Structures are given as structure tokens and as C-alpha cells.
Amino acid sequence: MVKQISILGSTGSVGRQTLDVIKDFPEKFRVLALTGNKNVDLLAQQVKSFQPELAVLTDPEAARELSRLLVGQKTRVLAGEEGLLAAATYPGTDLLVTAVVGFAGLKPTLAAIDAGIDIALANKETLVAAGRIVMEKARARKVNIIPVDSEHSAIFQCLQGSGPGQLQKIILTASGGPFRNCSRDELAGVTPEQALQHPNWSMGAKITIDSATMMNKGLEVLEAHWLFSLPLTAIEVLVHPQSIVHSLVEFKDGSLLAQLGPPDMRFPILYALTYPERWSNNFSKLDLVGRQLGFAAPDLEVFPCLAYAYEAGEKGGTLPAVVNAANEVAVAAFLKRRIGFLDIPGVIRQVMDGHRLQKDPDLDAIFSADSWAREEAQRIIGTISGIS
Ligand code: NAD
Ligand code: MG
């Protein structure tokens, strides 16, 4: 049977790698809808290669340009949030890959769940900001949420075949990023170029900076908390610089299971696309001969973002959405050189401290908290950079 796939964020790192996987199985997958933000040329190329029924650019001017480029093609072009929602709920979709970056992924993910479409979830910010709402809706609609994030895919794979009540805890591995061995003082002068050099993975800019601050691991702790219905006390982080062991689970009897592979997102992407099956592929496989694998505890003094994420998860309510939003704004400001690397945790801390937490927020409360945190983060960044 041909599986019909749509991809939100097909022009990004995960989106491009998803199409890379799909192109190796032309008999088994068909692409229905693709979306990007502004990258006209890349989306036009993807449309020509994969012939989807719908192509969306959220930027209206870019969408107009795409329509001009695709004159005579059968692919329909839409723009804006309306287009993104149309792609998320495109009729006939068997699996939607959510590879948009940031909070922008929340609405379309919820729309897809409402439409009863299974999700291959890369967009972790959605679960960080609104995990309870997303998971409750998915359970009610009997929608599967299959992780794409390599650590969560590893845990998901390790848990296959284990019965209820057997799990003790999960251990998320973290590469530690490019500044694993740095002191706090050394981090002060870090430039965007240095922070964008990830030692093992090639990813989009936002997640690469999140890896450098270790906020990525904090977001992943919250992602795992919702995906696997685990208390935060049952989720640990272990620094593993080689990114070969993608994560581990510990059972009640003390046995550990781990999933290993090269640091190549195509493995977890393919598993999400084919689950519960496993398909042969031509990706380079892992050779363990001569490999040294190391493990260490994370340094929460040097990387406070990880501690902030745990704190937000423990306090709950609107705080995780606030931390996520403050982080998105701070990372964007760092990439534009408006603030320094250490200002990223600084801004997040100040926004957290100024937030009046709301317990059990509905979706409106989460959107309000997100907007408030973005404005507050911008205001604080203005005082740091001298431009408001
Ligand atoms: P990216 O920046 O490379 O791509 C993001 C995609 O989203 C692009 O297609 C972009 O056009 C689109 N986009 C950006 N802003 C948008 C908006 N406001 N509205 C609609 N579309 C928008 O990001 P990425 O590295 O591919 O990451 C995507 C998601 O997957 C993130 O949540 C990230 O944390 C997660 N993830 C990525 C990797 C990786 O290897 N890159 C691994 C695990 C998880
Ligand atoms: Mg990850």
C-alpha cells in the first residue's frame, strides 16, 4: 500500500532529509502537501521532483512568486497560516511530518489531530508549549504521535514490546554541543558562527543554538515528559559527546536498553515513516570497531537553560510555553548579534521571573502566555542591546 505523506517545513533541515528518505522508496510513498516559509526556489524544486497536490509558503509575497514559477503545473499554491492549516489537514494524508520550527507548529499540529491524521513529530516546541492539550487531543482522536527527534525515537524503539509498569526511567543523551568543555567565562565572547558549529549534527540554526546552550536538551526533557507520560524525576540527561547512543531506558530490574546509530536523522525519520515496520535502506551503517564512547553528567552551572526547562516542567501551567517563547526570541536576537551568548539564559531567567504562572491553561491562555513572553523578552533585549 502506498503511504500518503505531507510535510510541514519541507524546506528545512528535517523536511529536506524527510524528502531524501522518501525519494528512495518511490513505490511506497506519495507526497501530498509540502510547506515552507519563504524559500521559493527550494519549494519549487521540491514540487517539480515530488509533484505534490498542494504547496504552501507562509510568506504571501513568496507564495505569489511560487505560483508564477509553477504556472502550468497541477500543484495548487496557497499562502499564509490558512495555507499551512490546509496542508496540515490535507484530505487523504496518512502521516503528517511536522518539521516546522518553533511555536508556529502548534496550530497546524492541533488541526491535523482534529482531522484524525497521524503525526511524525519533529517540532518539539509544540509539546513543550502545549503538551497536555496536544496529547489529550491525540488520545481522544486516537491519533498516533510518532517521535522523529533522535532521542525520542530511540526511547520509543527501546520501549517496543515492553509491558506496562516495567519502566523505571529514561536517559536522554546530549552531545553537549560545541562548548561542552568550556567554562562560563569562555562562553561570554562566543559568536553566532562558533555556536552554529555543531560537532556531530547538521541542523537548522535555531536548534543548533539550542544545542550550544543545552536548551535543546531541556526542551527534549519536556517533550519526553509528554510523549511518554513520565514524571520529570524519571527523565535524566547524560552527556555523550559521540552522539552514537541516541538514548536509553532503564527498567525496574536495573537493565538498560539503548538504541545506537550514526548521527544521521534519516534513521529516526525512516522509522517514523515506516513504524511499526523496519525497512532496508542504503544509509551508511554504524561500525563500532575502535569507537570510544564516553558519558558524563551535564554541568548545570555552565548550562543553566537545562535547569530552567526542568524548573518550568515542575512548576507547569503556562511556564513551559513562556520559557519556549523567551528562548525563541533570545536565540533570534543572538543570531542577529543583538545580545551575547550568555544573555540567552539571562533573558529567559528574567522572563520566567516576571511571569505570573497560570495553572491548567487552555489553548487561549497558552497563546496569551506565548505573546506576553515574546514581548517581555524583546523589552529585556532592548535594554541589553540599547535598541528598543
Ligand atoms: P529549519 O529551520 O531547518 O526548518 C524549519 C522549517 O520551518 C523550514 O521549512 C521553514 O521554512 C519553516 N518555517 C520557519 N518558520 C515558520 C513559520 N513561522 N511558519 C511556517 N513555517 C515556518 O529547522 P529544523 O532544524 O529542520 O527543525 C525543525 C524542527 O525539528 C524543530 O522543532 C527542531 O527542534 C526539530 N528537530 C530538528 C532536528 C534536525 O536535525 N534539524 C532534529 C530533531 C528535532
Ligand atoms: Mg534531539
Ramachandran class of 310: left when φ > 0, alpha when ψ lies in -120 to 50, beta otherwise: alpha
pLDDT tier for residue 387 given thresholds of 50, 70 and 90: low
**Structure pTM?**
0.98
Residue 360 per-residue DSSP state = S
Ligand nearest to the CA of 14: 1
Report the chain's terminal Cα–Cα distance, integer Å: 56
Ligand nearest to the CA of 7: 1
Instruction: Say whether 6 sits in a helix, a strand or coil.
Output: strand
Pairing status of strand 167-174 against strand 245-251: antiparallel
Q: By alpha-carbon position, which residue is closest to atom 36 of ligand 1?
A: 122
pLDDT value, residue 388: 46
Ligand 2 centre from 64 Cα, in Å?
A: 34
pLDDT at 385 over 90: no
Q: What is the mean pLDDT of residues 122-148?
A: 98
- Residue ranges and CATH numbers for the domains of the chain are 3-147 (3.40.50.720), 150-262+287-302 (no CATH), 316-388 (1.10.1740.10)
pLDDT per position as a tens digit, 241-288: 999 999 999 999 999 999 999 999 999 999 999 999 999 999 999 999
pLDDT per position as a tens digit, 75-110: 999 999 999 999 999 999 999 999 999 999 999 999
- What CA–CA distances, in Å, run from 238 to 5, 42, 251? 34, 37, 17
Instruction: Say whether 323 sits in a helix, a strand or coil.
Output: helix
pLDDT per position as a tens digit, 232-242: 999 999 999 99
pLDDT at 131 over 50: yes
Pocket test for ligand 1, best of 7, 8, 14 (most atoms within 8 A of CB): 14
CA distance 357 to 313: 12
Record the cell numbers describing residue 226, joined without a space: 509528554
Does the beta carbon of 106 lie inside 6 Å of ligand 1?
no
CA distance 94 to 30: 10
Share of the chain above pLDDT 70, in %: 99
